[in-house]
A and B are shown apart, each in its own frame.
Chain A
Amino acid sequence: MEPLSWTGALGTILDPILYILGPAFAALLVLRALVAGVMAAPTMRTNPDGTLTAVSGGLPVMIPRLSNWAGLAFGLLVVAYLLAGAIMGAHGAGIIGGISQQLVPVWLSLIALFVASITFKRRLGLYGKLFDSTIGMVGFALVMFWVFVGIYAGFDMLITHDPLSQVSGMKNKGPGIPMRGATAEEFQWYLLGGDNLARDVFSRVLSGATIVIAIAPLATLFAFMVGITLGLPAGYYGGKLDTFLSFLANLILAFPVILLFYLLVTPEIVQTGLPQFMAVVLFFFPLIFFAVLIHSRYRTQPGKNTLWLAVVLVPLFLLYMSAINGEGTKVNIWPLDFFDIPPGILVVFVSVVFVNSPTVFRIVRGLAMDIKTRDYVAAAQTRGERPWYIMLWEILPNARGPLIVDFCLRIGYTTILLGTLGFFGLGLPPESPDWGSTINDGRKLLSIYLHPALPPAFALLTLVLGLNLLADGLREESLRD
């Protein structure tokens, strides 16, 4: 079989357009930035109906308009590539077509999500407002793309080959090479080539998304639980408690992250059970958080209090015990063990939570110190509310804006940390398809073979970029109120 080209038959029509439009668009963007920096802004005239018209036309008006048109055309071209590719598949539209066709479930989910969200955006609160800002929408699209890829790849849907299986003869083969000895049911090509152990790069990148999507948001959530549970009292009470907790937080922050990882994640340390004991402590914080949250609210209504506490805490406690308990490890005390977290994942998870929580602590502490001087807190104090009620039901909801924005940024940072761990070969097993490990594998032969290292690098880049843009959009929209 012939190796695939990048765009296949589709390329004969669309490629020439790309070669003209791409450089033109890039040149216009550069020109636009130059014009905006060097030349004065166009003089405006206010029309009777309130709109603005530029009086002194010329370059400052023309260039942005032209670049907008070029951008639109470029966007349409990309959509054309993907759409035609999804229909024609790898046979007609080459590698891009193959990838696009493989990702059809993701495209459909994305379109459904966006159509639904934009239709109902006025009723969806802050989430709906996100669709008013272009940057926020672009970021959200990038993030959701990888979320859907991660979920579907987790159910073995999008990937073309097993991410761990090696096929002889495919070692370091370039993108689009037909798979040697492929049977009729199997996918016929390695879309993005094979890596140095002859595994399919495309499938590995998609499976890597599953790992990131599974770990990063959850680890960030745990870090937030720890940071909130400790940061609120530190900021609210101040005094000795604050001094002590801040000292601890600064202690962890003064550590170079990589040194900490090397000290916590080596197999020898895992043998001692230290990460598991840390998990015992760190995973307990969500329980404390929810217990205090519910108790402080329904303290005066014992019936409701007990009900809610039971409904929330019993499942959480069972999850907690199953998570920390492991057959044949240092912590093995609980009979009802529903699942075992693989030790590598647990260690990575714990160390990422551990590294992130001091920063969250500092943010929450600062917010609490700021908000506790407000009038509504004073009012609650005069009413005779308990301190924990004030912290969790008066201060925390009013700190949600900055916290949500930081949550998005922090998921991105956690993704980077996970990549760093993979890059140094710490924690996850070496054949694991996570992006950090694949980049580390690929970089060794980087000067000869580019294709194993670049796709995971771009995947990580786009996900983190999406999260940053999303945070930016959220910040803009929440400031607008």
Chain B
Amino acid sequence: MLLTALCLTFIVFFLTNLYPNLEKLAKNQGNFRMSDEQVATFLENRGYLQPLPIKYGQWLGVLPGYSIVGTDGKLREKCRAGEDITEPQTAFCGVLQGDWGQSTVFKDTVSSIIGTRLGLTGNLMLWVFLLMVPSALLVGILAGMREGSGLDRSLSTFSITTTATPEYVSGVILIAVFSSSAVGLKWFKGTATSAMEGANFENFFLPVLTIALYGMGYIARMTRASMAEVMTAQYIRTARLKGVSFKNIVVKHALRNALIAPFTVIMLQFPWLLNGVVIVETLFNYKGFGWVLVQAAGNNDIELLLGVSVVSVVVVLVTQLISDIGYVYLNPRIKVS
């Protein structure tokens, strides 16, 4: 897991530090009409042109930060960026020391940006899960308890349709129906910008619904498949023959066993939801984590992008771990040896 995280950040580091990207960064930072030599000295003075492994080591905090006397005679150090300094000093300042660096777009520390944005996105995700998981399970269980019935067929069609609708399609359709000022119902707001301060039903429901719909279909189909399988099991037939009512069979006998498979699916849904978050936050102009990802990637903001990828990779790997552990707890047949 640690190795995966290291490899991933190194790949991001490599891609963002390719020279054309650095050139763009320099022109964004300095001015757009710099000549090639000016770009080179600009980058040289700010330590961007050191060899890649050394830069990576500095970012990670296993090598001391650079300390370069620039061609303009000014001393610049990674650990005291932006300060007016004269004495060189050896210091470590990387991720391991808790210093995530500076964002070049937002002019702020990466940790504070990610902290606030992650909070906003966490709020969004919380509501998405509160809406998505219960309704997906309900749909799946209702469809799976009588396989092949009319109810099953209509609910299955519904879940196939939602999995076939990516967020940018369902979002557009939902905005058109519910919030367009031309012909729509005008029940909700088409943007969620105001939801960042105070989220309420009117400005927050559409983005939540948009993400939830896409994820819901998949979970519902998994739940349906596992419920349908459980309903054909021997012990369900035994219960039926004993004369247990259908309601009791579903609720008391089938439900727990049918929920094992969907649990892992729900956990593995996280990385996909991250995608949805990026699209929905762009579509509804909700300035959370996904929006930061787009901004950082669009402007080649190296340290912010690295922070974003570390966070998202950690989220993915942790959910995989939780799904494995949870699977063992839910399924009594598997023992941890």
Interface residues of A (CB under 8 A from B): 29, 32-33, 35-37, 41, 64, 247, 250-251, 253-259, 262-264, 266, 268-269, 271-272, 274, 412, 416, 419-420, 423-424, 436, 439-440, 442-443, 446-450, 453-454, 457-458, 460-461, 464-465, 467-469, 472
Question: Quick one: closest B residue to A258, CB to CB?
Answer: B278
Interface residues of B (CB under 8 A from A): 3-4, 7-8, 11-12, 15-16, 18-21, 23-24, 142, 146, 149-152, 154-155, 160-161, 163-166, 168-169, 171-173, 175-176, 179-183, 190, 271, 274-275, 278-279, 282-283, 290, 293-294, 297-298, 300, 305, 308-309, 312-313, 316-317
Residue contact B164 to A447, C-beta cutoff 8 Å: no
B146: chain A residues at CB < 8 Å are 36, 41
Add 12 more A-B contacts to A255-B8, A448-B181 (CB < 8 A): A37-B151, A247-B4, A259-B293, A268-B21, A412-B164, A447-B180, A457-B168, A457-B172, A461-B165, A461-B169, A465-B165, A468-B160
B12: chain A residues at CB < 8 Å are 259, 263
A33: chain B residues at CB < 8 Å are 150-151, 154-155
Question: Quick one: closest A residue to B168, CB to CB?
Answer: A423
B312: chain A residues at CB < 8 Å are 256, 259
Smallest CB separation, A385 vs chain B (Å) = 36
B155: chain A residues at CB < 8 Å are 33
Task: State the majority secondary structure of interface residues on A.
Answer: helix
Residue contact A420 to B168, C-beta cutoff 8 Å: yes
Smallest CB separation, A406 vs chain B (Å) = 14
Q: How far is the CA of A251 from the CA of B8 in the complex (A)?
A: 7
Q: Which of B160, B183, B190, B313 contacts A465 (CB 8 A)?
A: B160
Residue contact B169 to A259, C-beta cutoff 8 Å: no
**22 A-B contacts, Cβ less than 8 Å apart?**
A33-B151, A33-B154, A36-B146, A37-B142, A251-B7, A254-B316, A256-B278, A256-B312, A258-B294, A259-B297, A262-B297, A266-B21, A268-B20, A420-B275, A436-B168, A443-B172, A446-B175, A450-B176, A454-B173, A457-B172, A464-B166, A468-B160
Residue contact A416 to B151, C-beta cutoff 8 Å: no
Q: How far is the CA of A469 from the CA of B158 in the complex (A)?
A: 12
Residue contact B176 to A271, C-beta cutoff 8 Å: no
Q: How many A-B residue pairs have CB under 8 A?
A: 160
B316: chain A residues at CB < 8 Å are 254, 256
Residue contact A263 to B293, C-beta cutoff 8 Å: no
Residue contact B20 to A461, C-beta cutoff 8 Å: no
Residue contact B166 to A416, C-beta cutoff 8 Å: yes
With A251-B4, A268-B24, A424-B282: A439-B172 Cβ-Cβ less than 8 Å: yes
Residue contact A447 to B20, C-beta cutoff 8 Å: no
A454: chain B residues at CB < 8 Å are 172-173, 176
Q: How far is the CA of A41 from the CA of B147 in the complex (A)?
A: 12
A467: chain B residues at CB < 8 Å are 164
Smallest CB separation, A458 vs chain B (Å) = 8
Q: Which of B142, B169, B274, B305 contacts A460 (CB 8 A)?
A: B169
Q: How far is the CA of A111 from the CA of B175 in the complex (A)?
A: 36
Smallest CB separation, B161 vs chain A (Å) = 6
Q: How far is the CA of A436 from the CA of B161 in the complex (A)?
A: 19
Residue contact A32 to B300, C-beta cutoff 8 Å: no
Q: Which of A35, A264, A457 contacts B173 (CB 8 A)?
A: A457
Question: Quick one: closest A residue to B214, CB to CB?
Answer: A416
With A33-B151, A258-B293, A268-B20: A439-B271 Cβ-Cβ less than 8 Å: no
A468: chain B residues at CB < 8 Å are 160, 163-164
Q: How far is the CA of A274 from the CA of B20 in the complex (A)?
A: 12
Question: Quick one: closest A residue to B5, CB to CB?
Answer: A254
Q: How far is the CA of A453 from the CA of B274 in the complex (A)?
A: 24
B182: chain A residues at CB < 8 Å are 447-450
Smallest CB separation, A237 vs chain B (Å) = 22
Residue contact B165 to A259, C-beta cutoff 8 Å: no
